[in-house]
Amino acid sequence: MRFDVLDSRAVDLPDERRSPVRPGGGSDGSGSAVTIRPLSAEGGRWRVLVESWEVPGGCEGRLIFQPEGPIARADARVGPVNLRGAGRTELVGAAHELPEAWLRELLHSLA
């Protein structure tokens, strides 16, 4: 399995990739977001999603933290493009295995 977590520097993306897509696909049908787990952090619950899209040679993606419950009025936090795999299935499968502590650190860093 080939799965890379790239460095967390911001990447300049085309406009159609700047905003997270809704689960089920983007307006152009090229992206999709899948929930991978709930996360308790910062006094509330967050839904962790992986947004992914096809690129030449594979698939790239990023994590999105969607607030739930009492903190739902907070904005979603969108991570940098730092996930890469041979395809969406591989990328999402590997994202499921990311340690919870690492996800919390990333969420805090996006505040």
- Digit-by-digit pLDDT tens for the chain (111 residues) are 334 444 333 333 334 334 444 333 433 445 789 999 999 998 889 999 999 999 999 999 999 999 987 766 778 999 999 899 999 999 999 999 999 999 999 999 998
Task: Return d(Cα 26, Cα 109) in angstroms, integer.
Answer: 26
Residue 56: count of CB within 10 angstroms of its CB: 4
Task: Return d(Cα 36, Cα 51) in angstroms, integer.
Answer: 10
Identify the bridge partners of residue 31 per DSSP, sorted by sequence position. Answer: 53
In terms of pTM, does the model score above 0.85? no
